[in-house]
Structure 1
Amino acid sequence: MTFLRVGGVAHHVVVEGAGPLVVLSAGLGMSWFDWDPVVPLLTPDHTVVRFDRPGHGLSGPAVAAPTAAGEAHRIAGLLDALGAPGPVTVVGHSIAGFHAEAFARLYPARTAGLVLVDSSIEEAARPPAAPGLRLAFARAVAAVLCGAGAPAALGPAIRRATVRASRTGGGDPAPRDAVRRCYGTSRVLRGMVLENAAYGAVAAELLVLRGRLGLLGVPAVVLAGGAGGAAWIHRQRALAATLGASFQLAKGAGHLVMLDAPEAVAAAVRPG
């Protein structure tokens, strides 16, 4: 476990294993430990890098709203700080699928592969109206909640309830002390609210990148959780077709595929 300063923010980073590089980036409000079931499946033959985005996990507070390009540059900056230029297989879960795809498009020479794990999809996203007002409102809401003591009182419980609702394999396996340390803080609540407020803008920016840069120039896998339902699986298949990626289905897994079917994530990283 270490902290690296990138873009003026201290990022919590965990590096394990040896071999080809894999970067794991989790979805909105998730932390480094949510990849715990996957890591031991990869570390025998991969160097696995996990990190928390600003306002997530143990990283420093988010100081600016995220962008698709900015998150791609963040991954590149972390690799530079680690002295690990690549090539790297970048794995993005949920909203981090936007970030992982942006990295693969903007840094194709540094990308060995792309794996999207039950990725967010917005087929017709458009930049939101008055984004500045939207972000200001989100910050105001977060300030009110934090001032009322919501993170300490409710944060860990909401985290655990959300995880239970997002998977099919049981409850939240995360260590209780780590959950309290992360989700009992105003820092994480503010980071989640800010990232959620910027969701539409990031999705729209990614569509612009797709249109400008065309097909992916790297091997890609779209891995969907089978419990998402027929309509969701259809959209995930369509995403794979759009990207020229292979499609894999983790049957019976919920949105948190890395918890319900970690072996499917590991297999997607090393499809050969």
Structure 2
Amino acid sequence: MRGAGRFVRVDGVPLHVVVEGRGPVCVLSAGLAMAWFDWDAVAALLVAAGRTVVRFDRPGHGLSGPAAEPPTAAGEARRIAGLLDALGLPGDLPGGRDEAGRVTVVGHSIAGFHAEAFARLYPERTAGVVLVDSSVEEAPRALLPVGVRTGLARGVGRAVSAVGLPAAFGPLARRVTVRASRTGGSDPAARDLVRRVYRTGRVWRGALLENARYVDVAGEVLALRDVRPLTASATVLAGHCGSDLRWLARQAELADRLGARFEVAGPAGHLVMLDRPDQVARAVLDADQLRV
């Protein structure tokens, strides 16, 4: 599925977004350095099931503009809210109004932090949250001060762009990473899209900046859990291919802490949406059934 994308400015950054289908709204946000097209198979299933699917690229990812500021959990939650506002969603949709006026937000990997933050900070706008092989940090701590990490990320990003590494190795790095992160084979993304996205230094810089602030975002989410209850239905969907039982246990512990349903998608690597799009779509639809 290759729906027509558009650009919507949120907090001063042009965000690339693809909106498809009609019906209750689902927002899909991919993990570090991933793009909107990594949800193609999941989006197709959700559209066929009568859902409006919103896929967007965070700043510095996909086709979106570069990040103006380092990411925070609250900032990414606000970005989702701002994107929905700019799109006028939920609202009077071609297929009928979502009476609850709420969305199901889906976060993969590091975007699981963002999805959870949105659900906690905007409970009146959240019907459900689905965390797909989400990042988990029980006690995040950094070895270097935040300013040093941020400065290093920006410096390295500028350096790799200046010497032409993204143009030379970006698509290859994407292909190798995807193959190593799934059980179902090679990268299914169209080569022209991969070249268009991953040959740019902007994407490398965006990924480095998100990674540099990873522990800070994780700590922010942990703090939110103490003060902002999770009132929406939640599902933790973990990928499993028969190994790394410790990771599976951590995902189950996350579900227990959140009071969420725990499901296992398998066989699947970390990129569950590529290996088992059917199970991801089913988890979203099951969460959607709990709208009130």
Structure 2 length as normaliser, TM-score? 0.91
Q: Which residue of 1 is the match for residue 88 of structure 2?
A: 83
Once the two structures are TM-superposed, the CA of residue 8 in structure 1 deviates from its matched residue by 0.4
How many angstroms apart in 2 are the aligned matches of 1:15 and 1:127?
37
Deviations 1:26-84 (A, max 9, x none): 00000000001111110021000000000000000112110000000000000000001
Q: Which residue of 1 is the match for residue 15 of structure 2?
A: 11
Counterpart residue type for residue 233 of structure 2: P
How many angstroms apart in 1 are the aligned matches of 2:271 and 2:190?
17
Once the two structures are TM-superposed, the CA of residue 129 in structure 1 deviates from its matched residue by 4.6
How many angstroms apart in 2 are the aligned matches of 1:108 and 1:100?
11
Give the one of 211, 236, 246 matched to 1:222: 236
Q: Which residue of 1 is the match for residue 185 of structure 2?
A: 170
Give the one of 160, 163, 187 matched to 2:202: 187
SS of 2:172's partner is helix
Once the two structures are TM-superposed, the CA of residue 127 in structure 1 deviates from its matched residue by 6.2
Give the one of 7, 10, 35 matched to 1:31: 35
Alignment map for 1:141-160 (pairs within 5 Å): 141-160=156-175
Give the one of 30, 46, 49 matched to 2:51: 46
TM superposition outliers: structure 1 runs of 4+ over 6 Å: none
Counterpart residue type for residue 63 of structure 2: L
Once the two structures are TM-superposed, the CA of residue 251 in structure 1 deviates from its matched residue by 1.7
Deviations 1:150-169 (A, max 9, x none): 00000000000000000000
How many angstroms apart in 2 are the aligned matches of 1:29 and 1:95?
10
Deviations 1:166-204 (A, max 9, x none): 000000000100000000001111101101101011001
Unaligned runs of 5+ residues in structure 1 are none
Matched, 1:2 2:6: yes
Matched, 1:267 2:282: yes
Q: Which residue of 2 is the match for residue 140 of structure 1?
A: 155
Give the one of 58, 64, 82 matched to 1:59: 64
Q: Percent identical across equivalent pairs?
A: 64
How many angstroms apart in 1 are the aligned matches of 2:143 and 2:220?
11
Unaligned runs of 5+ residues in structure 2 are 91-100
CA RMSD of aligned residues (A): 1.1
Structure 1 contact 3–11 (Cα < 8 Å) conserved: yes
Deviations 1:88-123 (A, max 9, x none): 000000000000000000000100000000000001
Once the two structures are TM-superposed, the CA of residue 124 in structure 1 deviates from its matched residue by 0.8
Counterpart residue type for residue 59 of structure 1: S
Once the two structures are TM-superposed, the CA of residue 146 in structure 1 deviates from its matched residue by 0.8
SS of 2:41's partner is coil
Structure 1 length as normaliser, TM-score? 0.98
Once the two structures are TM-superposed, the CA of residue 126 in structure 1 deviates from its matched residue by 3.8
Task: Using the TM superposition, name which of 82-91 and 10-19 deviates more.
Answer: 82-91
How many angstroms apart in 2 are the aligned matches of 1:38 and 1:156?
23
How many angstroms apart in 2 are the aligned matches of 1:23 and 1:238?
25
Q: How many residues align?
A: 271
Structure 1 contact 42–48 (Cα < 8 Å) conserved: yes
How many angstroms apart in 1 are the aligned matches of 2:252 and 2:143?
26
SS of 1:174's partner is coil
How many angstroms apart in 1 are the aligned matches of 2:8 and 2:208?
23
